[in-house]
Amino acid sequence: MDRLFKLLFIVCLATAIPAQALDAHGSKDQSTEVSKFLGDLKSDNSVYMVTHKIEFFAGLAKGQTPKATIVTCSDSRVQANMFDRAPEGDLFTIRNIGNQLATAEGSVEYGVHHLHTPILMFIGHSRCGAIAAVGGNYSKESAAIKKELDTIGIPKDLGNLEGVTANVHNQVSLAMIKFSEEVSDGHLTVIGAVMDFADDVHQGAGKFHVININGEKDPDKLANVSALIAKHKAKPVAPKVEKKADSHDKPAGAEAGHAKPDAHDDHAAPAEHAPAHH
């Protein structure tokens, strides 16, 4: 009961904080925005502090052993609470435009090689701006933005959902080349998914679709996870280089981002189809 009163008090206090007046440059909107943002942040954080037990924070303080490394688009409409009710400690999360391996390779390696997550998952989403940009002419963008769009290697003539899907499949292919040793040893499973908040797949708004596991895209075969992992244990996904001594820090295979996925194997061809509509 005490906690409830404390919570109500904090919420009331936060909503009573007045917005800031004009700043020195007369920029009313900016100062109002920032004040509101900081007020909301403080309020939400206070709620977070009182609604989580001290043991929860003590657990986080001990260290991390995340279940998965995830690479998701930076889009604000995609957040981990859509598919994980308590993501703290669960997900080693990397975000960038177009949910790419190539533009965050060091961070992804950290998750796979240092945190040893058994899963690496790429998450695209409906109505992706990065995919839309790649489908059009982005030559007027800044050099920094162009650089991060250039590494999304999908055909220009795809619809948004098809482009999102093809990109996710490409990311899985590139990761399987980069981490071929971990995948064929059965220590890493690479997953591709699409977060469909717009119901573009017509299976319900907000549905999280797993569309690729270790290169398998057939919806009927995705349910049999153990078969997909066993298959790659038996058959390496990319030619192994003779490195053994320093195997864990020097992944065999091509450099992500420069490798052409469709030049490699049957996992690599960009998908022509969006997630199945049924």
Binding site for Zn ion (CB under 5 A): 73, 75, 128, 130
DSSP string, 54-101: HHHHHHHHH----SEEEEEE--TT--GGGT-S--TTTEEEEEETT--S
Spell out a b/e string for 6-18, using b for 16 or more CB atoms within 10 Å of the CB, else e: eeeebeeebeeee
CA distance 11 to 32: 19
- Rank residues 73 and 190 by Cβ distance to Zn ion and give the closer one: 73
- Least distance from Zn ion to the Cβ atom of residue 215, Å: 23
Shortest Cβ 167–Zn ion spacing (Å): 9
Q: How far is the CB of 199 from Zn ion (least distance, A)?
A: 17
Minimum distance between the CB of residue 144 and Zn ion, rounded to whole angstroms? 17
Least Å from the CB of residue 75 to Zn ion: 4
Residue nearer to Zn ion on the CB measure, 128 or 191: 128
Which C-beta is closer to Zn ion: that of 75 or that of 181? 75
Q: Which is nearer to Zn ion, 194 or 229 (CB)?
A: 194
Are 149 and 140 in contact, with CB atoms under 8 Å apart?
A: no
Q: Which is nearer to Zn ion, 101 or 177 (CB)?
A: 101
